[in-house]
Amino acid sequence: MALADILAEDRPRRPGTQAALAELSETFGDRLATGEDVRRAHSHTTTYIPNQLPDAVLFARSEAEVQTLVRIAARHGMPIVPFGVGSSLEGHVNAPFGGVSLDLSGMNEVVSVYPEDLDCIVEPGVTREALNEHLRDTGLFFPIDPGANASLGGMAATRASGTNAVRYGTMRENVVGLNAVMADGSVIRTARRAKKTAAGYDLTRLLVGSEGTLGIITRLNLKLYGIPEQVLSGVCPFPDVVSAVNAVIQTVQIGVPVARIELLDALSIEATNRHSKLDLPATPHLFVEFHGSPASVADQAASFAVIIEENGGGEFRSASRAEERSRLWKARHDFYWASIGLRPGAKAIATDVCVPISRLADCIEETRMDAEAAGLIAPTVGHVGDGNFHVTLLIDTDVPAEIDAAEAFLKRLAERALDMDGTCTGEHGVGQGKRGYLSAELGASVDVMRAVKTALDPSNIMNPGKIFSFETR
Amino acid sequence: MALADILAEDRPRRPGTQAALAELSETFGDRLATGEDVRRAHSHTTTYIPNQLPDAVLFARSEAEVQTLVRIAARHGMPIVPFGVGSSLEGHVNAPFGGVSLDLSGMNEVVSVYPEDLDCIVEPGVTREALNEHLRDTGLFFPIDPGANASLGGMAATRASGTNAVRYGTMRENVVGLNAVMADGSVIRTARRAKKTAAGYDLTRLLVGSEGTLGIITRLNLKLYGIPEQVLSGVCPFPDVVSAVNAVIQTVQIGVPVARIELLDALSIEATNRHSKLDLPATPHLFVEFHGSPASVADQAASFAVIIEENGGGEFRSASRAEERSRLWKARHDFYWASIGLRPGAKAIATDVCVPISRLADCIEETRMDAEAAGLIAPTVGHVGDGNFHVTLLIDTDVPAEIDAAEAFLKRLAERALDMDGTCTGEHGVGQGKRGYLSAELGASVDVMRAVKTALDPSNIMNPGKIFSFETR
């Protein structure tokens, strides 16, 4: 599409957009794409939130190019929406006020690996699988695994976590430092490569989870870990969610350093059996994994066996060979696709909350009853070692009443988590979908966030319309 | 002393100070102390930086009282300097522009302990030893241990860490959320009790390490850990620093989850032998500790034994009984006092830097040679698993030439750490002592920090003169 036609569309847009796009077009030529398909692909979200297309997509190749873009955008007050692979779940990549989607997938170099120091430096477009592929011969790996093969820049920007977080932490704990282009076009490096520092404000953690609203991440210094000498995975059935969660609480409490401990409820097992050709009994299961030396793994497994026994769990089916393990975790990761099999043709809307673990069984159980009462198909899986779980709603997004029922359910779920002193999002982020809960969750803290946002991005060009519910132009 | 006499002293002071103090005196009566001794005790620092007394000291008892103080101070533009136990090392509690020292030691309640969730809520004046005493019957403990029996509020404000950080992280990783009174008198709670969250900017991490310059911490939600089933400590001599550090690198790299791994160089061993009545050979040593199940501890110790062997270490003398362990770690913690024995009558000036671990041996060795060339007595100890070490200078602070030599040495040390892509402070913080290195370390990031500071504390009443080298009034 010609820029003139795009700009003729009636939608909220900053006055300087046309001039900014003209300047970008002149600077970047073909790498400023305006075709409808590419623009649509860059606003694709797996939510019920409608797509809001950017006016153009810029494929950047370097930090210097990002800086050039930001300077042009800043001069004209045009929004920039950073884009990795588009796997975010709360509308982070939508462009409600138009402007440019900044595609960082071309900045995909692993810049350096420091095996002695257990860290590396990567560009933001490197995906987690690409990094682990690159590391294969070093004996090291990067553990954070949100399921999707997300870009590491996107994972940092949304403070992603996933199945391994119970042992290795989230992106919050695993970014040593980063480079970012700020709203005025300056480039900052937030920390040196030392493992810890007490030198001033923790800008690394301020940028991690800021969802592109404060600056654009152009380089990441990430922690790495030695590939464990031994890995043991397995699955174990439980009579109900409460006993499975109690087993998790005990595991965490006695300090078994479990690497993954995932709950799949009965409905999720049903879906997974069908999709991934497993034959698990249709009751809640824990999928677990232990990492360590052979002695440590045996020790962990023995402790866990006692906990299973005490909580009425069934047989622990282990998978120590790599291909069995891969099959198991592929089944877990494919849950999103498996869930769609529960209602062919429906769209799967994934949400996430996180509560103190002592409230987890209650929260999951109340949520299950709520879904039942609302007539919603809502399989539940969770990173239960962290008190974090996902409900996936299978809805027909062409039926407004279903969207309404889903939205009302999601609202009750967020409020339930808040009532239990939890958070409306453990790992998916706020984006557009969770903006409405932030004040209820954090009160006056949101004013402080807004003051920081205003100080660092006074013209609100950095991913506007995300995190905050006010719709500043 | 009468307020009028204090205010008659010629020193930098905000114009509204007199009015603010009068109002505080009326509101708080006797709890606003103005005696010289109490004011001096609240500006005491263990640095060569001269004491800068506050005009008064307020002993607060509640968050509401802190709020009242801040509102009065904000109205008159008077500085507030938060104070825990005064164990900070870089002049954090000095009052270069006068104003009030806010003593939080009276806010020392352990508000709640949640054994199932492994966390607790405390007031900022609770010390780490008091918290662990309180937890004694729960089977839980709080691991962060900077040596001094510091207040937890102060530890959070300075992003403290210490001997256990290699296993349990620093205050950065162990504060789940906090309450703070901000410069406008508003109270914020930065996070709910969920173990992880992706809900907006990480204000918890922004406040942790902000040294009282953004807000006053009035409540902390801290992670707890199960007391390990078994603990094994021990010491091991090495022929030189390089071989000891190489042993540490291997230990970290193969993923032995060591709980503490501390280096003491030959001079430090000499001092410690004398002070703590040990009889260790006068060569560099590692002090180590393993936590876990009996099988795990045995496994860790066996792995470490191989590493000792490969790096030419001597006999590992273990201490598994609690009293032997206490004696060992008391000796390590008493190092500060032991070091003074190397030069009776001298003052011990402790500094800290942190570098990527691959550069640690070089950094320590170059620093040792530098001290020798400069004629300085400079024993070195370190949290070497993190690449973090301390040099303690024994100097006569009455001799200006010695202060000059020490300052020049400290400058070279900070620059050496920066040249190795490290930080000028791994855990002591910036305070007044390290302000001059922040720009060299972090460049344009310092402008971003300053913008955040200005946005959240426009009148610069929150611990002014710390972190930033500009001397705004």
The pLDDT averaged over each successive group of 10 residues in chain A (473 residues) is 87 93 96 96 81 96 98 98 94 96 98 96 98 96 94 98 95 98 98 97 98 98 95 96 94 92 96 94 96 93 96 92 88 90 92 96 96 96 96 93 94 98 97 95 98 97 91 45
Looking at the domain that runs over A3-103, which CATH code has it been given?
3.30.43.10
- Give me the residues paired with residue B226 across strands: B140
Give the model's confidence band at B470: pLDDT under 50 very low, under 70 low, under 90 confident, else very high.
low
Tokens of A80: 């920039």
Residues of chain B with CATH 3.30.70.2190: 230-336
Question: Which segment of A454-458, B22-26, B156-160, B397-401 scores lowest on mean pLDDT?
Answer: B397-401
Check if A421 contacts B (Cβ < 8 Å).
Answer: yes
By CA distance, what is A419's nearest residue in B?
Answer: B192
Q: Using the beta-carbon criterion (under 8 Å), do A200 and B252 form an inter-chain contact? A: no
The ipTM (two decimal places) reads 0.97
Residue B227 DSSP code: P
By CA distance, what is B450's nearest residue in A?
Answer: A201
CA B75 to chain centre: 32
How many CB atoms neighbour CB A346 within 10 A? 17
pLDDT at residue B472 tops 50: no
C-alpha distances in angstroms, A284 versus A16, A275, A364, A381, A386? 55, 17, 12, 10, 18
Residues of chain B with CATH 3.30.465.10: 110-226
In angstroms, the separation between the Cα of residue A65 and the nearest Cα of chain B is 19
Best of A138, A173, A201 to mutate (most B CBs within 10 Å, chain B):
A201
In angstroms, the separation between the Cα of residue A4 and the nearest Cα of chain B is 36
Question: Which segment of A319-328, B370-379, B441-450 scores lowest on mean pLDDT?
Answer: A319-328
State the pLDDT at residue B253.
Answer: 86
Q: Which residue has the tokens 């290795």?
A: A168
Fold (CATH) for A110-226: 3.30.465
Check if A112 contacts B (Cβ < 8 Å).
Answer: no
Q: Which amino acid is at B177?
A: G
Which among B117, B198, B428 is the nearest to A356, CB-wise?
B117
How many CB atoms neighbour CB B310 within 10 A? 12
pLDDT at residue B315 tops 60: yes
State the pLDDT at residue A471.
Answer: 52
pLDDT at residue B99 tops 80: yes
Which among A200, A225, A388 is the nearest to B467, CB-wise?
A200
Q: Which amino acid is at B364?
A: I
Check if B30 contacts A (Cβ < 8 Å).
Answer: no
Q: Using the beta-carbon criterion (under 8 Å), do B253 and A203 form an inter-chain contact? A: no
Q: In chain A, positions 174-213, which contact chain B (CB-CB < 8 Å)?
A: 182, 186-203, 205-206, 208-210
Tokens of B418: 């920066």
- As a whole number of angstroms, the distance between CA A227 and CA A259 comes to 12
Q: In chain A, positions 259-298, which contact chain B (CB-CB < 8 Å)?
A: 292-293, 295-296, 298
Q: Looking at domain B230-336, which CATH architecture does it have?
A: 2-Layer Sandwich (3.30)
State the pLDDT at residue B471.
Answer: 52
Share of chain B above pLDDT 70, in %: 99
Residue A21 DSSP code: H
- As a whole number of angstroms, the distance between CA A211 and CA A203 comes to 14
Q: Using the beta-carbon criterion (under 8 Å), do A192 and B422 form an inter-chain contact? A: yes
pLDDT at residue B49 tops 90: no
Check if A222 contacts B (Cβ < 8 Å).
Answer: no
pLDDT at residue B362 tops 80: yes
Q: Using the beta-carbon criterion (under 8 Å), do B430 and A257 form an inter-chain contact? A: no
Mean pLDDT of B339-359: 94
Q: Which residue, B146, B154, B169, is CA-closest to B207?
A: B154
Q: Which of A432-468 are b and which e, b meaning 16 or more Cβ less than 10 Å from the residue's Cβ?
A: bbbbebbeebbeebbebbbbbbebbbebbbbbbbbbb
- As a whole number of angstroms, the distance between CA B310 and CA B318 comes to 19
In chain B, which residues have their Cβ closer than 8 Å to the Cβ of A195?
354, 356-357, 386-388
With 0-12 / 13-18 / 19 or more C-beta atoms within 10 angstroms meaning exposed / middle / buried, residue B181 is buried
Which among B161, B210, B225 is the nearest to A196, CB-wise?
B161
**Average pLDDT value over all residues in chain B:** 95
Question: Which segment of B131-140, B318-327, B453-462 scores lowest on mean pLDDT?
Answer: B318-327
Domain A343-419 coded CATH 3.30.70.2740: yes
Mean pLDDT of B76-100: 95
Which among B159, B193, B249 is the nearest to A356, CB-wise?
B193
Return all residues near B72 (Cβ < 8 A) that are at least 6 apart. B20, B23, B24, B27, B78
In angstroms, the separation between the Cα of residue B408 and the nearest Cα of chain A is 20
Residues of chain A with CATH 3.30.70.2740: 343-419
Q: Using the beta-carbon criterion (under 8 Å), do A202 and B209 form an inter-chain contact? A: yes
pLDDT in tens, B223-279: 999 999 999 999 999 999 999 999 999 999 888 999 999 999 999 999 999 999 999
Give the model's confidence band at B473: pLDDT under 50 very low, under 70 low, under 90 confident, else very high.
very low
Q: Which amino acid is at B320?
A: S
Residues of chain A with CATH 3.30.43.10: 3-103
Check if B423 contacts A (Cβ < 8 Å).
Answer: yes
